[in-house]
Copies of this chain bind each other. A is one copy, B any other.
Amino acid sequence: METIQQRFAVTFSYPVIFTQQLFDPQNPKLRDFLSQYGERDFRKKIFFCIDSGVLAAHPTLQSQITHYFESVPTLSLVPEWLVIPGGEAAKNAPALFDQIVEAVDQYGIDRHSFVAAIGGGAVLDLVGYAAAVSHRGVKHIRIPTTVLSQNDSGVGVKNGINYRGKKNFLGTFAPPVAVFNDTAFLRTLDDRDWRSGISEAIKVALIKDKVFFEWLEANAKALAQRDEAAMQYLIHRCAELHMQHISGGDPFESGSARPLDFGHWAAHKLEYLTHFEVRHGEAVAIGIALDTYYSQLTGRLSETDTQRVIQVLHELGFKLYHPALAEQDSVHLINGLREFQEHLGGRLTITLLDAIGVGVEVHEMDTVLIQKAVVVLQGETV
């Protein structure tokens, strides 16, 4: 009998919409999206999962949402909410995953209805995963509330939870149906979270877009002083570059195409070594500094370019060293290389810099030079 060859393409499409005060009754963006999405001959539901940290900073959020949906008569707002503790803890608790699945069942959310998540990256990752596997995928809307989730994780196609301490061990590639980036949420971030997400913009600029890096240099002071207009531009451009990388490559990473992970091998390990006391964006800033010095030490990157990178990180207020980097002569840190390879599978692939705006992939790293780069970083801390 002859082999039957199956072959088909699935098209994914979603907007990332920028707005202010998403739930202001005067703001039509969410209402318009929902009323135009999908088929109109039956009544859809929408169920909200909200980050506890966001709710604490925006105590009237639930009543705003309730009020907003009074003007959307074509949709049923589920009158209950799931409030989910924010931060990495959200991804370590299988019970939270169960709660979301339970809610999908209890409130009769079907494959044409919506589960919306409002929160930081961890809450979005958890809710996105639960939505993706319930009924083999209910429609998912992301409303990221941090710089990091608005410019990076929240606009991409991944979700996931940790499994017995292994980061993102369970998850899927499942694009949302829409992302709403609401600037108003950024105002209540603490300074660490405001700064944190900026490192992903530096990352993508360094490997892809010199002009954007120059913009970051010119605006570092304004960003450090919480200039909202500058932050809006940063988020928009970073999200755009991130999304172009996904659509231009291998969106579901079925081959060996790499995600945008410059500076990330060390960042993941540092988060873990510090029990996530160092936040993701902070760890990425350190990882960028480390791999930038490493790029210089291996003769790829000029002294001038190296100093520009370090300078912009300093101006933004990032700390570029943590004692965990040097523990046991950096052996813990260097173990992170193998773990990074294991998670992505296949050959070790690390992005370095040939110049500002020019990333390059390598397949091995010299441990002595990594140790040296750590020592240089240590010297940077005054």
State which of B6, B172, B232 has its C-beta within 8 Å of the C-beta of A132: B172
Cβ contact within 8 Å between A136 and B158: yes
Q: Which residues of B sit under 8 angstroms from A132, Cβ to Cβ?
A: 172
Q: Which residues of B sit under 8 angstroms from A1, Cβ to Cβ?
A: 18, 232-233, 236
Known A-B contacts A111-B345, A168-B136, A347-B41; the reply to A10 vs B13 at CB < 8 A is: no
A1 nearest in chain B by CB position: B18
A 124-173 contacts with B by CB, 8 A? 129, 132-138, 155, 158, 160, 163-164, 166, 168-173
State which of B3, B10, B18, B236 has its C-beta within 8 Å of the C-beta of A17: B3
Q: Which residues of B sit under 8 angstroms from A14, Cβ to Cβ?
A: 5-6
Q: Which residues of B sit under 8 angstroms from A255, Cβ to Cβ?
A: 38-39
Is the CB of A101 closer than 8 A to any CB of chain B? yes
Is the CB of A382 closer than 8 A to any CB of chain B? no
State which of B3, B101, B111, B240 has its C-beta within 8 Å of the C-beta of A170: B101
Copies in the complex: 2
Size class of the contact patch on chain A = 35 or more
Cβ contact within 8 Å between A110 and B8: no
A108 nearest in chain B by CB position: B342
Task: Give the secondary structure class of A's interface.
Answer: mixed
Assembled-state Cα–Cα distance A17/B16 (Å): 41
Question: Beta-carbon contacts of A339-351 to B below 8 Å, as 1s and 0s?
Answer: 0001111110000
State which of B13, B129, B134, B136 has its C-beta within 8 Å of the C-beta of A253: B136
Assembled-state Cα–Cα distance A313/B252 (Å): 43
A243 nearest in chain B by CB position: B6
Assembled-state Cα–Cα distance A133/B94 (Å): 14
Is the CB of A380 closer than 8 A to any CB of chain B? no
Q: Which residues of B sit under 8 angstroms from A233, Cβ to Cβ?
A: 1
Known A-B contacts A105-B163, A255-B38; the reply to A134 vs B5 at CB < 8 A is: no
Assembled-state Cα–Cα distance A108/B137 (Å): 28
Q: Which residues of B sit under 8 angstroms from A251, Cβ to Cβ?
A: 8, 10
Is the CB of A368 closer than 8 A to any CB of chain B? no
| Sample (17) of A-B pairs whose CB atoms are under 8 Å apart | A6-B14, A6-B243, A7-B12, A8-B12, A9-B9, A9-B12, A38-B255, A41-B347, A105-B166, A105-B169, A112-B345, A113-B345, A133-B170, A136-B168, A136-B171, A137-B252, A137-B254
**Top-6 shortest CB links A-B:** A110-B345, A111-B345, A1-B18, A8-B247, A112-B345, A7-B13
Question: Interface of A with B (CB < 8 Å)?
Answer: 1-18, 38-39, 41-42, 101, 105, 108, 110-113, 129, 132-138, 155, 158, 160, 163-164, 166, 168-173, 175, 232-233, 236, 239-240, 243, 246-247, 251-256, 342-347
